[in-house]
Amino acid sequence: MKKQVIALAATAAFTAPVFAQSSVTLYGVIDEGVNYTNSVGGHSVVELQSGYAQGSRWGLKGAEDLGGGNKAIFQLENGFDLNSGRLGQGGRMFGRQAYVGVSNDRFGTVTLGRQYDSVVDYLAQTTSNGNWSGYLFSHPFDNDNTDNSFRVNNTVKYASPDIAGFQFGGTYSFSNDVNFANNRQYSFGAQYATGGLLLAAAYLQANNTGATSSGAIATNDASFLAQRMRVFGGGINYTFGSATVGFTYTNSDYHNPTGNGYLGTPGAIVAAGSTLNRLRFQNFELNAKYQLTPAFYVGGEYVYTLENYDSSTGSVKPKVHTVGLMADYNISKRTDFYVQGVYQKVAGDKTNSIMDNAFILGTQAPSSTSNQLAFRAAIRHKF
């Protein structure tokens, strides 16, 4: 009898189910500071603001090993305003990211849900605002989405594995509308990294951005409302010793734009008595960062933006100059203090709209003149 019991126990031990290894991580960023802006509609303002070098957030991400180099993965990421406790990204619970998918060591990763487009995934890292400086350093109106002003809903994304330093990927976002093309999006991008060199490029196109609340780029998420949005660009970063220098070019083209999400008023970008047929931005960015010590770095950028404002009353080409400086000091592995200063000037032709006034993203509203200056001193904690 004892022998039978021992045999059964041994058999059970060898036939017990093998449970897949899995992990779930809770993480977050809290970014809080004091901002000063010299002109907001003609008045200076001092305010407490959350989420500038990085958006304040918390999230969950996890993976389950399925065997054979396969994993099931997910990520849920919530953005919030620390000062009011409000949800970010248009009041969405997981407005920053929300997706599930499968990853394979050899063939790459496929995910489904609310995600970043390829401009953010590949090209943005070559800009200062999409890498180390954040919100205040954005190109005018974040016209190229390198500061991820919007995410893309209803999205299927593919990301390749690293192939000797080369990676590529793309997204397709369904309109979820009976009109298949009404508010859909697609993008693709690639990068190559070797030694201290990083090269990246991306392309994005979206139809009827902001036209519907459940489409690819939702009404309360869109940076520009337009019949068609097209963005492409390329960038290079090179690191030598403690210094990193970079150059990025982006081209953003909006057909029949009707408004901008940052300005609040749908018709604010259109001159009175005219129709805006096309709005195009070309951004040329030079940036540099120097790591003075392992805990302390300084960085700066200069962005020259050439606008093409084509309306029913004629075509004009304003120019926008943006200069930003930043210093950051880590007092521990998870906590740092930083200061930033940004100056913007709008020059050249006049559009006779609010776009003639300087507007640094992250300030409350455009300046009453063609110049605006903003400063920020903040603390950031990561967990």
Q: What is the pLDDT of residue 266?
A: 59
Question: What is the predicted pLDDT for the residue at 114?
Answer: 98
- pLDDT of residue 187 exceeding 90: yes
Q: What is the mean pLDDT of residues 80-94?
A: 96
Long-range own/partner contacts, residues 88-92 (CB < 8 A, 24 or more apart): 88/51, 88/55, 88/56, 88/57, 89/151, 89/221, 90/218, 90/220, 90/221, 91/220
pLDDT at 21: 84
Look at 2-16, 155-169, 170-184, 222-236 and tell me which has the smallest mean pLDDT: 2-16
Q: Which one-letter DSSP state was computed for residue 150?
A: -
pLDDT for 272 equals: 79
Looking at residue 265, its pLDDT comes to 63
The string of DSSP letters for 105-140 reads TTTEEEEEEEE--HIIIIIGGGSSTTTTS-GGGPPG
Identify the pLDDT of residue 268: 78
pLDDT in tens, 19-72: 568 999 999 999 999 999 999 999 999 999 999 999 999 999 999 999 999 999
pLDDT band at residue 207 using 50, 70 and 90 as cut-offs: very high
State residue 2's pLDDT score: 42
Q: How confident is the model at residue 274 (pLDDT cuts 50, 70, 90)?
A: confident
Question: Residue 100: CB partners within 8 Å, gap ≥ 6?
Answer: 72, 73, 74, 111, 112, 113
Predicted pLDDT at 16: 42
- Looking at residue 271, its pLDDT comes to 79
Average pLDDT of the chain, as a whole number: 93
Q: Write down the pLDDT at residue 264.
A: 74
What pLDDT, on a 0 to 100 scale, did the predictor assign at position 269? 87
Domains of the chain (ranges; CATH) run 31-56+116-154+167-382 (2.40.160.10)
Tens digit of each residue's pLDDT (9 = 90 or more) over 111-121: 999 999 999 99
